[in-house]
Amino acid sequence: MDLYFMGTNAGVPSLERNVTSLALRLLDERRSFWLFDCGEGTQHQILRSPLKLSKLENVFITHLHGDHLFGLPGLISSRAYQGGDTPLTIYGPQGLKRYITTVLELSESRINYKMDIVEHDGGTVFEDESFRVEAALLDHRIPSYGYRIIEKDQPGKLDTALLKKYGISPGPLYGKLKRGESVQAPNDKTVHAAEVLGKSKKGRIVTILGDTRPCPAALELAKDADVLVHESTFLHELAGIAHTYHHSTARQAAEAAKYAGVKELFLTHFSSRYKNNEQMDRIQQEAEAIFKDTTLAVEHVLYPVDR
């Protein structure tokens, strides 16, 4: 599991940074990647990345401001030309379906894969045997959501040597034992999962927030997360402007990370006024003064999400 940022700017792109887009790469877990927001130019950023559009499985849009979704119609259209023929599901706030269908209809764009658009008002928006994704409404000028991606605990490894001793070969019985069930060995011995199953692997939690002021929902989504991705549009000297425009400062992001008990904080969504290394260093220092394990997201860098 890795994070890969393809846009870290707020509002408009700059020569240094593109507008918001973030991939959660899940190659080991499900041989795919998920995309969180899709600002203008995202498909160009993907061309410069180790990602392949054919492996895109889900898109999660935080809110309907242009810097978070203007790249979506082009990406949807291009995906088919880059080998994408598997289903694609796009999640986001109310109005997302009308936006996508209108653009595709007026541009007479045709796609040759199954696409579902799921509008939500928060709660559990996705769940399968491996992951659950929860969403909650944040505090922004328009409905903006944060997402909590929960990897479910994985069963430990089976003691194959011991199973061989019991006469149990790979097959359906392995599956039952991994699910915690007891099975009958060929010699009629009852084998309990606890005897042959190692310690389970605890799942990871990644929280990715949309644009927001500090709010309780952000803290709930981030509680005990392994990684928190939080907007950091301004330095705290501009806290008044941040509040007026429904954004957060670096200090406020760090305070959220500390209060929620996360392990690592990634800052993104920087105002285009911050261009040089000195200014970016100030953002880093402001957050680190409160929460040490802070990283300023850099585009086209892979960040592993460790267990």
Given pLDDT bands bounded at 50, 70 and 90, which one contains residue 83? Answer: confident
300 is in an annotated binding site: no
211 is in an annotated binding site: yes
C-alpha 282: how far from its chain's center?
Answer: 26
Given pLDDT bands bounded at 50, 70 and 90, which one contains residue 185? Answer: confident
243 is in an annotated binding site: no
CA dist 247 and 228 (Å) reads 16
35 or 191, greater pLDDT = 35
226 is in an annotated binding site: no
Mean pLDDT value across residues 153-169: 85
Examine the pLDDT at 199 and tell me if it is beyond 90: no
Q: Residue 175: its pLDDT value, please? A: 81
269 is in an annotated binding site: yes
Mean pLDDT value across residues 117-145: 97
304 or 154, greater pLDDT = 304
224 is in an annotated binding site: no
CA dist 50 and 303 (Å) reads 13
Q: Assess if CATH 3.40.600.10 describes domain 2-154+201-304.
A: no
Q: Residue 227: its pLDDT value, please? A: 98
Q: Would you kindly state where each structural domain of the chain is located, as residue ranges?
A: 2-154+201-304, 160-196
Contact 154, 201 (CB under 8 A): yes
**Is 67 one of the catalytic residues?**
yes
Catalytic option among 2, 28, 37, 67 = 67
If you average pLDDT over each of 77-91, 173-187, 233-247, which comes out highest? 233-247
Mean pLDDT value across residues 41-64: 96
**Per-chain mean pLDDT for the chain:** 95
pTM of the model: 0.90
What's the order of all strands across the beta sheet hosting 205-208?
Answer: 123-127, 131-137, 145-151, 205-208, 227-231, 264-268, 294-296
CA dist 215 and 195 (Å) reads 46
247 is in an annotated binding site: no
Closest CA to 193 of 156, 161, 153: 156
Q: Residue 22: its pLDDT value, please? A: 98
CA dist 247 and 227 (Å) reads 20
Given pLDDT bands bounded at 50, 70 and 90, which one contains residue 173? Answer: confident
Which residues on adjacent β-strands are paired with residue 264? Answer: 227
